[in-house]
């Protein structure tokens, strides 16, 4: 069964600190992996998109990594800010050729405290 | 400022009542998605349209849910009759996507609206 699992479920850090969020998936065959940021009361917004051949991709203070062999991805946030408080969702595109789907994780809820 | 617009933002209704949620996709986008988000299940795809044609609504309870796209500027999701278990946030998203299937190819993106928070009491 195609699945996307994220950890931790929730995380609290102090402003200025770094953190890393994890995403493990079993989707096969794999097409691409996305990280979304969802602020409270708003829709998800894409942060990064990665394909099989990409190991690292950065978007400002956000850096995503992908290990397609172990089917793991991480999202590293550097020098966190209060505005980073949100839910971060990992999404994998993949599946059999004529039935490719988006498989969404449940997200990691991040709280950045002053 | 192109964005996906959803109405209403919040809806509280009694069990058994009809609920209609509306979505205005970004002009020029050919694909519209309807998602439901709950704490337990996360984001679940209910239905999606390409060029106004319904391509996949297998995620939707057929007996009470219906999705339509009467024109390129309006998508609707209707629940009749509504039940307490329908309480969730419903998101509409749109994108410009070629080919078939619901997976997002590498060079495309889906843009989400702010959602409709539905509470059925």
Per-residue pLDDT reduced to its tens digit, A28-44: 888 889 999 999 999 99
More confident residue, A56 or A1: A56
* Chain A interface includes B104 (CB < 8 A): yes
From chain A, pick out residues whose CB is under 8 angstroms from the CB of B118.
Answer: none
Which pLDDT score is estimated for A99?
A: 61
Contact B3, A45 (CB under 8 A): no
Q: What is the mean pLDDT of chain A?
A: 92
Least confident stretch, A80-84, A88-92, B101-105: B101-105
CA distances from A94 to A32, A79, A110, B15, B99 (A): 7, 33, 27, 37, 15
Minimal CA separation from A80 to chain B, in Å: 24
- pLDDT tens-place values along chain B, 121 residues long: 679 999 999 999 999 999 999 999 999 999 999 999 998 888 999 998 988 988 888 888 889 999 999 999 999 999 999 999 999 999 999 998 876 666 666 667 889 999 999 999 9
Confidence of residue A24 (pLDDT cuts 50, 70, 90): very high
pLDDT at A27 (0 to 100): 86
Residue A31, chain B, CB below 8 Å: the answer is yes
**pLDDT at position A42:** 94
Specify burial of residue A59 (Cβ count, 10 A radius: 0-12, 13-18, 19+): middle
State the pLDDT confidence band at A94, using cuts at 50, 70 and 90: confident
Lowest mean pLDDT among A16-25, A51-60, A89-98: A89-98
B4: tokens are 């996906």
To the nearest whole angstrom, how far is the Cα of A42 from the nearest Cα of chain B? 5
| Rounded Cα–Cα distance for residues A111 and B16 (Å) | 38
pLDDT > 70 in chain A, percent: 95
Which residues in chain B are closer than 8 Å to A29, comparing Cβ atoms?
none
More confident position, B16 or A27: B16
In chain A, residues with a C-beta closer than 8 Å to the C-beta of B115 are: 41-43
User: CA angle at residue B46 from B61 to B12, to 5 degrees?
Assistant: 75
């Amino acid at each position: 069964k195609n699945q996307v699992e994220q950890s931790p479920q929730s995380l609290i850090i102090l402003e200025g600190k770094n953190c890393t969020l994890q995403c493990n998936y079993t989707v096969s065959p794999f097409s691409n992996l996305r990280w979304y940021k969802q602020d409270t009361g708003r829709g998800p917004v894409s942060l990064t998109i990665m394909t099989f051949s990409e190991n690292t991709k950065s978007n400002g203070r956000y850096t995503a990594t992908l290990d397609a062999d172990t089917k793991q991805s991480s999202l590293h946030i550097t020098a966190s800010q209060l505005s980073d408080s949100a839910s971060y969702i990992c999404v994998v595109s993949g599946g059999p050729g004529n039935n490719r789907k988006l498989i969404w994780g449940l997200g990691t809820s991040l709280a950045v405290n002053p | 400022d192109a964005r996906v617009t959803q109405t209403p933002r919040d809806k509280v209704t009694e069990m058994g009542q009809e609920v209609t949620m509306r979505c205005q996709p970004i002009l020029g986008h050919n694909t519209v998605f309807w998602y439901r988000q709950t704490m337990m299940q996360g984001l679940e795809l209910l239905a999606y349209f390409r060029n106004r044609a319904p391509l996949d609504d297998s995620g939707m309870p057929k007996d009470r849910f219906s999705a339509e796209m009467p024109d390129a500027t309006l998508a609707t999701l209707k629940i009749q009759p509504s039940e307490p278990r329908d309480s969730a946030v419903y998101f509409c998203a749109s994108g410009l996507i070629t080919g078939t299937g619901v997976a997002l190819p590498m060079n495309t993106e889906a843009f989400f609206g702010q959602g409709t928070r539905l509470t059925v009491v």
